[in-house]
């Protein structure tokens, strides 16, 4: 391939420019996520440290690469990474974009000429001992693990704490349960919220388990997993350097062929986030239904009134936080489909959906963490139980009749409930009318407080 002129004022080189020309796909939403770029800079910093220590790089070149990597990780050079997700499936062009910026920035600091590849060469020095096939999946794992640990899990743990507090706050509030969207037997509002808290807790546990797969790094496999152009022990030492740099317990992948050819750990993490999305969607929908009204719905709880809900209906307030987080859930479910399809595209020694898989997982991880935090701050903490309305609905429910089963049997109790509904009378009136029990029996046997747990 011939040379290609580079626009003035940029630090990328011909391979980056060629990718800009060949893949003009999408707008700002299609740009390669910067966490991947920063993760690649981090691993290249660690590789430069290793190669410097082993005498494979001169002090001048090694220190130049390390300083350039630090500058990339700081975010100061973000404008020099213009490529899109939709490029080669191995991420080679983004790998080279990072190599070229590292090279040219290091050259600048050494008073050289940008684009000269001297004294710091993008391939020979910045890419030393690496292939896109092992460095890009390593950057995938680093970037995803960092976002999940710093954003996703932080947000979910905050949501869990908020739900647990509400469960405790509502412990004594007895309400009617609902199954099939129909009246059921009583429970406490605290018990209902404890179910939501447990869903989030299980989700956190799933994500934490899936983190184990992301801790295994492909670096050291080079082109096909054999480790060509590296020396024994390189992979483990590099993983240790990356672990030290990030504070995360990264290790070298025990089998580099699997690490390059399959990205099951990415699929697994996406699946865990998909479960979390399903849980959050259920919780948010329950809350918007429980808070529906305020006068013509269930109205058992009041959600915070954060902003006007209508441009035409004065005083209307909508469950906007519930709507926002359920939209997030829909996006995460869609991203999971992309990742699932991508994970199935491993052909022989290489999966070629790396960029879109990583970008989709980063998107999901960030959305869930941010949405969980936002949902907690702007919805969960401000929920109020409308106890008068809750009592009204409990007392009018026909399913309190279930407490009569041990005393008069299912069939007789069923007739009492149906008669009350048909005639529009109270359950107590129908029970006494049936002749199976007295009013005193009814008051003794039907006590909602005694119906929220086993005897």
340 burial class (0-12, 13-18, 19+ CB within 10 angstroms)? middle
Q: Mean per-residue pLDDT for 38-64?
A: 98
Enumerate the H helices of 34-152 as residue ranges.
Answer: 34-53, 59-74, 92-109, 132-147
Give the other-Cβ count within 10 Å of 325's Cβ.
Answer: 25
20 burial class (0-12, 13-18, 19+ CB within 10 angstroms)? middle
Mean pLDDT of the chain: 97
- Candidates 180, 296, 311, 347; catalytic one: 180
Banded pLDDT at 229 (limits 50, 70, 90): very high
Q: Mean per-residue pLDDT for 207-234?
A: 98
Query: Is 180 tagged catalytic?
Result: yes
Residue 119: CA count within 13 A, CB half-sphere: 12
- Candidates 116, 310, 396, 438; catalytic one: 310
| Residue 404, token pair as written in the block | 């009569």
Query: Is 421 tagged catalytic?
Result: no
359 burial class (0-12, 13-18, 19+ CB within 10 angstroms)? buried
Q: Mean per-residue pLDDT for 4-17?
A: 86
CA distance 387 to 320: 23
- Give how far Cα 136 sits from Cα of 116, 218, 357, Å: 25, 9, 12
Banded pLDDT at 8 (limits 50, 70, 90): confident
Q: Mean per-residue pLDDT for 208-224?
A: 98
Tens of pLDDT, residue by residue over 332-371, are: 999 999 999 999 998 999 999 999 999 999 999 999 999 9
């Amino acid at each position: 391939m011939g040379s290609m002129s580079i626009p003035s004022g940029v630090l990328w080189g011909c391979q980056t420019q060629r990718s800009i020309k060949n893949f003009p796909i999408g707008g700002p939403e299609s740009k390669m996520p910067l966490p991947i770029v920063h993760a690649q800079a981090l691993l290249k910093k660690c590789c430069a440290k290793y190669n410097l220590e082993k005498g494979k790089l001169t002090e001048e070149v090694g220190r130049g690469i390390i300083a350039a990597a630090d500058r990339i990780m700081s975010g100061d050079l973000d404008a020099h990474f213009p490529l899109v997700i939709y490029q080669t499936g191995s991420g080679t062009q983004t790998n080279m974009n990072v190599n070229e910026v590292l090279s040219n920035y290091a050259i600048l600091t050494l008073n050289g000429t940008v684009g000269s590849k001297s004294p710091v060469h993008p391939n020979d020095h910045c890419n030393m001992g690496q292939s896109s096939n092992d460095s890009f999946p390593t950057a995938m794992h680093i970037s995803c693990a960092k976002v999940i640990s710093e954003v996703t899990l932080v947000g979910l743990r905050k949501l869990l704490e908020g739900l647990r507090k509400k469960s405790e706050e509502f412990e004594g509030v007895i309400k009617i349960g609902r199954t099939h969207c129909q009246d059921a037997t009583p429970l406490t509002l605290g018990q209902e919220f404890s179910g939501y808290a447990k869903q989030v807790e299980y989700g956190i546990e799933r994500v934490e388990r899936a983190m184990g797969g992301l801790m295994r790094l492909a670096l050291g496999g080079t082109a096909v997993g054999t480790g060509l152009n590296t020396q024994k022990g390189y992979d483990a030492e590099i993983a240790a350097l990356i672990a030290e740099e990030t504070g995360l317990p990264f290790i070298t992948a025990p089998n580099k062929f699997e690490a390059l050819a399959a990205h099951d750990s990415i699929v697994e993490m996406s699946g865990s986030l998909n479960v979390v999305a399903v849980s959050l969607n259920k919780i948010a929908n329950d809350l918007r239904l429980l808070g529906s009204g305020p006068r013509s719905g269930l109205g058992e709880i009041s959600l915070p009134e954060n902003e006007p809900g209508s441009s035409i209906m004065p005083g209307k307030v909508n469950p906007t936080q519930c709507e926002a987080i359920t939209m997030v859930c829909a996006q995460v479910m869609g991203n999971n489909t992309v990742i699932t399809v991508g994970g199935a595209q491993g052909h022989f020694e290489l999966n070629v959906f790396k960029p879109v898989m990583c970008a989709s997982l980063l998107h999901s991880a960030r959305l869930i963490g941010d949405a969980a935090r936002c949902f907690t701050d702007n919805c969960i903490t401000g929920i109020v139980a409308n106890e008068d309305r809750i009592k009204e609905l409990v007392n009018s429910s026909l399913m309190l009749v279930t407490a009569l089963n041990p005393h008069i049997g299912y069939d007789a109790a069923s007739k009492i409930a149906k008669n009350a509904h048909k005639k529009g009378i109270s359950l107590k009136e129908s029970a006494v009318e049936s002749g199976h029990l007295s009013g005193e029996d009814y008051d003794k046997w039907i006590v909602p407080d005694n119906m929220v747990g086993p005897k």
